[in-house]
Structure formats: C-alpha cells, structure tokens
C-alpha cells in the first residue's frame, strides 16, 4: 500500500502540479548511432532503497516489447496502467528524446533516482542503462549511458 500511495503522489505531482510543489524539468536523452531500429526507453523513479515509485515516460508504443525493458518490467509487473497517457514513439539511433514534465520538488535532494531502461529490436537489452540521482546540483550535468544512450541530462 505504501508503494501505491508513493506512486500516486509521484504521478499526481506530474499531472496536477497545483496540488504539490513542482517545477518543470526537461529530460534530454541523446542516443548513440548504434545502427539498429528505434529504441524503446522507460524512464522511471526509484527511492533511496531502490523501490519503484512511478513511471515518467515510455518511448515506444507496442506493449509486446515492454518485457525487454526488464528492470522497469520487473518493478511494474508490466502493468500498462503505469504508462497510460505518458507514451511516445520509439527513438531512432542518433536521435534525441526531449520531454518536459512537472516533477515534485520533493524528488530532488532526497535520495530518489531516475532510471532509464533501453531496448532495441534484434539487439541486446540494456536494463538501467542510465541511473542518476535526482539532485539540484546534478541538473545540467550529462550522464553517459552504457550502450544505446550517449548521454542524459535533466534541466530545471
């Protein structure tokens, strides 16, 4: 129940910023030119203990591929309700995903981490390709990915 309430608070802060102190945060993910199909990306938040708190964005629209975003899939049991209304197209090799969301102020400097899982058809999956602590000092600092993501930044 605690996880459900925390996830509800996180998603409420994303969708109804007037109910919580929140600020617009731009998430920018630059992909490497890896030479394959478009990447599916799951952007989600965990607390300091690694407990899943909520999904921020899903790039890629075919649910049959979500299981390849294995850390996200394990945390959510693949529940499509976790991403209802927060999906977009997959991201092509060498391209950029740039989204702006209202994130609760309480997520910053409190031990929360943003994760990005990545998967490309006919290529290896990359769970937790990027893991970055959400801190005010980390804003604007590029974080390298491990396989498909060249770098990721968030700006407030």
Q: Is residue 148 part of a domain?
A: no
Q: Is residue 141 part of a domain?
A: no
Q: Is residue 65 part of a domain?
A: yes
Q: Is residue 94 part of a domain?
A: yes
Q: Is residue 153 part of a domain?
A: no
Q: Is residue 24 part of a domain?
A: yes
DSSP H helical ranges for the chain: 2-15, 70-76
Query: What is the predicted pLDDT for the residue at 1?
Result: 39
Query: What is the predicted pLDDT for the residue at 10?
Result: 54
Q: Is residue 154 part of a domain?
A: no
Report how many domains make up the chain.
1
The predicted-structure confidence for 42-78, as pLDDT tens digits, reads as follows: 999 999 999 999 999 999 989 999 999 999 999 999 8
Q: Is residue 108 part of a domain?
A: yes
Domain of 83 in residue numbering reads as 2-135
Query: What is the predicted pLDDT for the residue at 20?
Result: 61
Residue 63: Cβ within 10 Å count: 12
Q: What is the DSSP letter of 91?
A: B
- Of the two residues 99 and 19, the one the predictor is more confident about is 99
3 dihedral zone (left: phi>0; alpha: psi -120 to 50; beta) = alpha
**131 HSE (CA, 13 A, CB side):** 13
The predicted-structure confidence for 115-156, as pLDDT tens digits, reads as follows: 999 999 999 999 999 999 999 999 999 999 999 999 999 999
Query: What is the predicted pLDDT for the residue at 146?
Result: 96
Cβ neighbours of residue 137 closer than 8 Å, sequence gap 6 or more: none
> Domain with 19 in it: what CATH number?
2.60.40
The predicted-structure confidence for 77-127, as pLDDT tens digits, reads as follows: 989 899 988 899 999 999 999 999 999 999 999 999 999 999 999 999 999
Task: Determine the Cα–Cα distance for residues 61 and 92; give it in Å rounded to an integer.
Answer: 14
What pTM, to 2 d.p., does this model score?
0.86
């Amino acid at each position: 129940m605690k996880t459900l309430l925390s996830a509800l608070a996180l998603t409420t802060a994303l969708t109804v910023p007037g109910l919580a102190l929140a600020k617009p945060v731009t998430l920018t993910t630059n992909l490497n030119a890896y030479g394959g199909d478009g990447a599916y990306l799951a952007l989600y938040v965990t607390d300091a203990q690694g407990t899943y708190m909520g999904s921020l964005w899903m790039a890629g629209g075919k649910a049959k591929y979500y299981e390849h975003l294995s850390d996200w899939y394990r945390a959510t049991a693949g529940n499509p309700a976790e991403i209802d209304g927060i999906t977009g197209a997959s991201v092509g090799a060498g391209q950029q995903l740039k989204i702006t969301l209202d994130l609760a102020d309480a997520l910053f400097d409190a031990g929360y981490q943003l994760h990005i899982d990545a998967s490309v058809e006919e290529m290896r999956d990359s769970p937790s390709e990027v893991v970055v602590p959400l801190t005010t000092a980390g804003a604007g600092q590029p974080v390298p990915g491990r396989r498909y993501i060249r770098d990721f930044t968030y700006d407030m």
